[in-house]
């Protein structure tokens, strides 16, 4: 029979609660020094991974871009190979399109314009995931420019509007208010 089975439940609970205190200094409970593996992660290392941009623009980096620059970056970085000329199609999702969703049809095509709730998601998505063969290779200026290009093409901003950490979160996506929040208390 194991030692734990022989202990009454109350003792087990007390032992596991006390375990939290032991863990801080293993030399005091007779377990000896820790093996000394690993090291605390540095702030710089966390920062490199902590790139999530929130709907209100929190975590957007410095930098800016316009649709005109974005049109150039779009070709230079080969986005057209998969998203088509002018971002209107190709073998992968059309980034600029007026395609509508069919109400009640769960399979109807969801596009950036007809579905995405937040403009800042476009920046976040491109920065972390595109171009598909080489994610995280774009500069923040290039990502702002590509975001402006997609927003202007979808007629959600003026052609010459500058997108940056201040202006981008102010762009209201058409479908933003049509989502049901599953956990409103977490917002
Ligand atoms: C090799 C092909 C390829 C290239 C090149 C590429 N993409 Fe994509 N892109 C994809 C695929 C595939 C998806 C869909 C991924 C998914 O749904 O999981 C996608 C999705 C996207 C989306 C989300 C679209 C939506 O409606 O869900 C955006 C925005 C985007 N790409 C932007 C870009 C930009 C900007 C570039 C150039 C810097 C680029 N992509 C280059 C293949 C590519």
Report yes or no: 85 and 91 within 8 Å, Cβ to Cβ: no
Q: Given this model, what pLDDT does residue 24 score? A: 52
The mean per-residue pLDDT over the stretch 13-27 comes to 48
Rounded distance from Cα 132 to ligand 1 centre (Å) = 6
Burial label, 152 (beta-carbon count in 10 A; 0-12, 13-18, 19+): buried
Dig out the tokens for 83 from the structure. 């998203």
Look at residue 13 and tell me whether its pLDDT is greater than 60: no
Please give the share of the chain, as a percent, with pLDDT higher than 70: 85
Dig out the tokens for 184 from the structure. 């409103």
The mean per-residue pLDDT over the stretch 157-182 comes to 96
**What count of other Cβ atoms lies within 10 Å of the Cβ of residue 63?**
16
Nearest to 92 by CA among 117, 72, 111, 70: 111
Least confident range of 18-32, 139-153, 169-183: 18-32
Pocket flag, ligand 1, residue 112 (CB < 6 Å): yes
Pocket flag, ligand 1, residue 67 (CB < 6 Å): no
Look at residue 34 and tell me whether its pLDDT is greater than 70: yes
Q: Given this model, what pLDDT does residue 73 score? A: 98
Look at residue 19 and tell me whether its pLDDT is greater than 80: no
Look at residue 93 and tell me whether its pLDDT is greater than 70: yes
Confidence band, pLDDT 50/70/90 cuts, at residue 68? very high
Look at residue 116 and tell me whether its pLDDT is greater than 80: yes
- What is the residue with the minimal CA distance to atom 37 of ligand 1? 79
Cα gap 133→147, rounded to integer Å: 19
Burial label, 140 (beta-carbon count in 10 A; 0-12, 13-18, 19+): middle
Pocket flag, ligand 1, residue 133 (CB < 6 Å): yes
72, 141, 159 from 80: Cα distances, Å = 11, 19, 20
Look at residue 53 and tell me whether its pLDDT is greater than 90: yes
């Amino acid at each position: 029979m194991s030692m734990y089975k022989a202990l009454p439940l109350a003792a087990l609970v007390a032992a596991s609660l006390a375990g939290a205190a032991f863990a801080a200094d293993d030399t005091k409970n007779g377990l000896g020094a820790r093996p000394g593996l690993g090291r605390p992660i540095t702030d710089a290392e966390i920062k490199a991974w902590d790139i999530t941009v929130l709907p209100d623009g929190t975590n957007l980096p410095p930098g800016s871009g316009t649709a005109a620059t974005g049109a150039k970056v779009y070709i230079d970085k080969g986005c057209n190979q998969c998203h088509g000329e002018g971002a209107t199609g190709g073998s992968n999702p059309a980034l600029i399109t007026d395609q509508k969703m069919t109400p009640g049809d769960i399979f109807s095509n969801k596009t950036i314009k007809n579905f995405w709730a937040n403009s800042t998601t476009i920046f976040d998505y491109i920065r972390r995931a595109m171009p598909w063969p080489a994610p995280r290779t774009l500069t923040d200026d290039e990502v702002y420019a590509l975001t402006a290009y997609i927003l202007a093409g979808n007629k959600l901003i003026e052609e010459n509007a500058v997108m940056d950490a201040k202006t981008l979160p102010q762009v209201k996506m058409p479908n933003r208010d049509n989502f049901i929040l599953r956990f409103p208390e977490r917002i």
